[in-house]
Amino acid sequence: MDKNIKKPQPPSGKENQTFVKHDYSFELKINNDIICQRYFNINKFNPSSLRSLDFKEYFDNAVNLIQRDLESKTRVYLYNVCCTFADEDKLKKKQQSGANKSELYAPLYDEFHKDYVNTDVNNITFAFLHKDEIIMVKMWDGNAYPQFIRKNIDIVNNQWIQVSPTQRIYFDTCDEDKLKYEHTIKKKILMGREDLIPQIITLFREVCSMENKEYNYP
């Protein structure tokens, strides 16, 4: 086994504790598929917060975090994929440097061009829920992002790639020359990014636990 491929560590005792379903949650979906869902607690929850303009502002800030993350990943993807196929000399050199490299490029190349004639509906939805009831939701067009980005939405921004049920490749130790082309692109897209989930939860905790006098209402 490649020394750069590590086996996932077993969960710690804390992670093994019984799951507690809190009253507050958010979920991120593409069409009807849930990409990410998190339940969390809010100390000193103020019900008035849900009617405030401040809640709308903080909710939009959470959405903006996700949208900026996807836009940034799109730029990285387009730069790497476009450069790969726009420069014929560069492509020929890569084809000559390793076995089956061109075969690995082909699926991404086809996928990249299909985005320009894509007529499928791909709506991305973000929602805040209280006791599983949707309080606020925002939907936007997922076709603004390439298919590769839509299929690999990850706001946790894990710094590893799962290559089998028991094995991961970690970005900080892997040999990029030995990666499949798709995994190389994923590494370039995800490398060095922060987990957005704690930031999103912090936004909701802050806005939902303020004093009444601090809120602005319509």
What is the tens place of the pLDDT at every residue in 76-88?
A: 988 887 655 444 5
User: CB-hemisphere CA count at 13 Å for 145?
Assistant: 25
Does the residue 216 lie in any domain? no
Per-residue model confidence (pLDDT) at position 105: 52
Q: Is residue 215 part of a domain?
A: no
149 pLDDT band, cuts 50/70/90, is: very high
Strand ranges for the chain from DSSP E? 5-6, 24-30, 33-40, 123-130, 133-141, 160-164, 167-170
- Give pLDDT, residue 132: 93
At 12-21, the pLDDT tens digits run 444 445 556 7
- Rounded Cα–Cα distance for residues 187 and 171 (Å): 7
The residue written with tokens 């999103």 in the block is 200
Judge whether 177 lies within some domain.
Answer: yes
Name the residue range of residue 55's domain.
Answer: 22-207
Residues in CB range of 8: below 8 A, 6 or more apart? 166, 167, 168
Mean pLDDT score of the chain: 82
7 in any annotated domain: no
- Dump pLDDT digits (tens) for 4-62: 444 445 444 444 455 567 899 999 999 999 999 999 999 999 999 999 999 999 999 99
pLDDT of residue 95: 55
* Cα atoms in the 13 Å half-sphere on the side-chain side of 48: 11
The per-residue pLDDT for 88 is 52
Is 134 part of a structural domain of the chain? yes
pLDDT at position 218, please? 87
Using the predicted structure, report yes or no on whether residue 102 has a pLDDT greater than 50: no
Asked, for residue 81, whether it belongs to a domain, the answer is yes
Share of the chain above pLDDT 70, in %: 73
Average pLDDT over residues 144-169: 90
pLDDT at 103 over 60: no
This prediction has a pTM of 0.77
Whether 29 is in a domain gets the answer: yes
Domain count within the chain:
1
Tell me, what's the pLDDT at 163? Answer: 84
* 213 part of a folded domain: no
